[in-house]
């Protein structure tokens, strides 16, 4: 282990060099020796099955549930939290070497989204859940008589029903704020149109109060069919904007973070010429290492156009078809919104080879083969007795899709990687779960055991990065941008709470690169706009940078 303290000196790069510097203490630890490579992922079943409350799966239980990844007990290993429609939330405590101990949290059942966020800023990741029928539920991470316990607690001021959510410091005050969206169609089925919660549906921004764990809410939309919320910077002004992905005919919602930093003025916008029709998932990243973020959304479009595939899809499409209004921007396919000249976005999903990945749910970006470029993994499939009544077992069986980035931001299928599970995945996240430096994958399937995919691809190296801000309202530095300058180019990663579909991300950043790549320096743009620079980097290392400002 190596510890050193560096001041935030700056060098030319993607970060604004006029910003003030920040001191950081750096600790490094070597990663575990990887197991022998096989050229593919190895699947492991987890002792968890998400099931529907009834005997058969109907809309909207067919939407399944999410999961999250993060270090809940502070031992350095990534733990797993999986939701269930019929049972309690399950925690898989990572003991190392892909050995997990399962416990259940009986305080909440029928959870949907799972986020891990340090709500009370005590340097412990808490669990926050949605049910779709009520306001988000906070399970506070505290010391108990027999170790860690999770205490049920309200989020004061957060009252609207939520299906999807995300967290970020929206007003640059150093505290995490919350954005939620309701799923009105599902709520009407479960609770009826006369429900008191239905009157409070829609999209909300909740700003954390400065002196206590309490929030002040602002309603952005009175109705929603929200499946995903992204808090990424759409207009490159280094402030998080709001993207809300809606199901059905409800247009996705986009709001730009305008006004003074301390008092955002949320301006509705439509930055894209075309959008997905039923946006299931958001992720964002620099897919061509140009320094610009692209926004990836998933939708429903068959991978193949052969007769057998179309025979399974067409009855459902015909039953749900509605006439589209003129100039409708919605398309039933994935999108990849890539910024071009003047900041105008272009949907390049079709040109880049990733417009169709089946009935897609969680789709995420990650450098799976550690060649320095972000790949894509999408889980898919559908089970619904009322919608797919014409299919055996009422299930559209599809193989999950993994797409390899060819180094230009274009994508090609990589079936040899062994990620083509047909278990009807819903929530999904990527993280290094065995400490060897590469990205593993965990999937919460519907009516089948959850799966962990161990990465045993060959080639490449990595640098893992943890960022910490002790003594602040955002100890895990959510919203930080880190840029690794290398001999192959600049690699950008963002710390965020959630992405994909109902799924929480680990705050640990993964940089992959080819063997022999020279690592020049790591630039860190903290959420408050200050910058740290770290040199003397080594591959196959976990680097922890902790703010140490006086």
- How far, CA to CA in Å, does 3 sit from each of 28, 251, 285? 7, 50, 30
pLDDT of residue 11: 34
pLDDT confidence of residue 198: 66
**DSSP summary character for residue 170:** S
Name the CA radius of gyration of the chain, rounded: 22
The larger pLDDT score, comparing residue 320 to residue 82, is at 82
Q: Residues 6 or more apart from 193 whose CB is under 8 A from it? A: none
pLDDT in tens, 517-546: 999 999 999 999 999 999 999 999 999 999
> Quick one: tokens of 116?
């891990």
Angstrom distance (rounded) from CA 88 to CA 103: 10
Q: For the chain, which residues make up each domain, given as ranges?
A: 2-315+333-547
Per residue in 380-437, pLDDT tens? 999 999 999 999 999 999 999 999 999 999 999 999 999 999 999 999 999 999 999 9
Q: Which of 221-235, 311-325, 421-435, 518-532 has the lowest mean pLDDT?
A: 311-325
Does pLDDT of 185 surpass 90? Answer: no
Tell me the average pLDDT across 113-120: 99
Q: Encoding tokens for residue 313?
A: 């899809």
Residue 15 reports pLDDT greater than 60: no
My answer on whether omega of the bond before 204 falls inside 30° of 0, hence cis, is: no
pLDDT for 317 equals 84
Q: Residue 197: pLDDT above 70?
A: no
The string of pLDDT tens digits covering residues 249-307 is: 899 999 999 988 888 999 999 999 999 999 999 999 999 999 999 999 999 999 999 99
pLDDT of residue 326: 80
Place of tokens 């999410």: 66
Distances in Å between the Cα of 294 and the Cα atoms of 165, 270, 272, 336, 409 are 20, 15, 12, 6, 10
Residue 314 DSSP class: H
Q: Quick check: 241 pLDDT over 60?
A: yes
pLDDT category of residue 6 using cuts at 50, 70 and 90? very low
Distance CA 50, CA 450 (A): 8
The rounded Cα 7 to chain-centroid distance in angstroms is 31
pLDDT value of position 3 = 36
Residue 262: what pLDDT? Answer: 85
Mean pLDDT value of segment 217-245: 96
CA angle 202, 207, 210 (to 5 degrees): 160
507: its two tokens: 């705050």
Residue 5 has pLDDT above 70, yes or no: no
Question: Token pair 């399950």 is at which residue?
Answer: 90
Please tell me the pTM assigned to this model.
0.95
- The C-alpha angle with vertex 284 and arms to 209 and 261, in degrees rounded to 5, equals 30
d(CA 117, CA 476): 8
- Give percent above pLDDT 90 in the chain: 86
Strand 335-339 versus strand 147-153 pairing type:
unpaired
- The mean pLDDT value of the chain amounts to 94
* Contact between 426 and 362 (Cβ < 8 Å): yes
Give the residue-averaged pLDDT of 201-220. Answer: 96
Q: Which CATH class is domain 2-315+333-547?
A: mainly beta
Q: Is the pLDDT of residue 81 over 70?
A: yes
pLDDT of residue 10: 34
Percent of the chain with pLDDT over 70: 95
pLDDT-derived band at 193, boundaries 50, 70, 90? low
Q: Is the pLDDT of residue 195 over 80?
A: no
Q: Give the pLDDT score at 88.
A: 97
- 335: Cβ–Cβ under 8 A, 6 or more apart, which residues? 272, 274, 275, 276, 295, 296, 297, 299, 347, 349, 355
Q: What is the DSSP string of 433-446?
A: SSSSSSPEEEEEEB
Judge whether 68 and 114 are in contact, CB under 8 Å: yes
Question: Per-residue pLDDT for 89 more than 80?
Answer: yes
- 477 is written with which tokens? 């530095």
């Amino acid at each position: 282990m190596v510890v050193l303290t560096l001041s935030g000196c700056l060098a030319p790069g993607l970060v604004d060099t006029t910003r003030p510097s920040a001191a950081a203490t750096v600790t490094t630890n070597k990663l575990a020796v990887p197991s022998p490579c096989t050229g593919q992922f190895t699947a492991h079943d987890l002792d968890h099955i998400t099931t529907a409350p009834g005997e058969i799966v109907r809309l909207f239980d067919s939407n399944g549930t999410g999961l999250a990844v993060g270090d809940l007990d502070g031992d350095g290993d990534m733990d797993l939290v999986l939701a269930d429609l019929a049972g309690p939330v399950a925690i898989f405590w990572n003991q190392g070497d892909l050995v997990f101990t399962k416990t259940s949290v009986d305080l909440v059942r029928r959870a949907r989204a799972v986020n891990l966020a340090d709500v009370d800023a005590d340097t412990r990741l808490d669990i926050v859940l949605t049910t779709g029928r009520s306001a988000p539920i906070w399970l506070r991470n505290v010391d108990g008589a027999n170790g860690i316990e999770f205490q049920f607690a309200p989020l004061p001021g957060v009252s609207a029903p939520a299906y999807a959510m995300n967290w970020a410091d929206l007003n640059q005050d150093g505290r995490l704020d919350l954005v939620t969206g309701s799923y009105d169609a599902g709520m009407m089925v479960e609770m009826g149109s006369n429900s008191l919660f239905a009157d409070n549906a829609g999209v909300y921004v909740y700003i954390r109060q400065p002196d206590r764990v309490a929030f002040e809410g602002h309603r952005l939309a009175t109705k929603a069919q929200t499946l995903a919320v992204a808090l990424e910077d759409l207009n490159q002004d280094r402030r998080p904007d709001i993207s809300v992905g809606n199901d059905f005919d409800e247009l996705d919602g986009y709001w730009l973070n305008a006004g003074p930093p301390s008092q955002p003025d949320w301006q509705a916008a439509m930055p894209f010429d075309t959008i997905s029709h039923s946006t299931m998932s958001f992720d964002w990243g620099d897919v061509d290492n140009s320094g610009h973020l692209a926004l990836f959304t998933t939708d429903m479009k068959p991978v193949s156009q052969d007769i057998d595939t179309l025979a399974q899809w067409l009855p459902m499409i015909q039953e749900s078809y509605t006439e589209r209004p003129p100039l409708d921007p919605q398309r039933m396919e994935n999108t990849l919104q890539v910024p071009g000249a003047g900041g105008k976005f272009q949907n390049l999903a079709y040109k880049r080879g990733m417009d169709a990945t089946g009935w897609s749910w969680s789709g995420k970006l990650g450098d799976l083969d550690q060649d320095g470029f972000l790949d894509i993994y999408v889980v898919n499939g559908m089970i619904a007795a009322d919608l797919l009544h014409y299919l055996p077992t009422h299930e559209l069986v599809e193989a999950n899709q993994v797409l390899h980035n060819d180094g230009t931001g274009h994508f090609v299928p990589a079936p040899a990687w062994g990620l083509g599970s047909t278990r009807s995945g819903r929530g999904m996240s990527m993280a290094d779960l065995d400490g060897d430096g590469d990205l593993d994958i965990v999937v919460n399937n519907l009516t089948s055991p959850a799966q962990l995919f161990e990465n045993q691809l060959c080639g490449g190296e990595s640098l893992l990065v943890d960022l910490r801000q002790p003594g602040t309202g955002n100890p895990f530095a959510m919203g930080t941008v880190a840029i690794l300058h290398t001999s192959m180019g600049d690699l950008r990663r963002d710390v965020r709470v959630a992405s994909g579909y109902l799924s929480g991300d680990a705050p640990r950043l993964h940089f992959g690169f080819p063997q022999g790549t020279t690592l020049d320096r790591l630039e860190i743009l903290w959420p408050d706009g200050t910058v740290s620079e770290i040199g003397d980097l080594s591959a196959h290392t976990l680097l922890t940078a902790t703010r140490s400002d006086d």
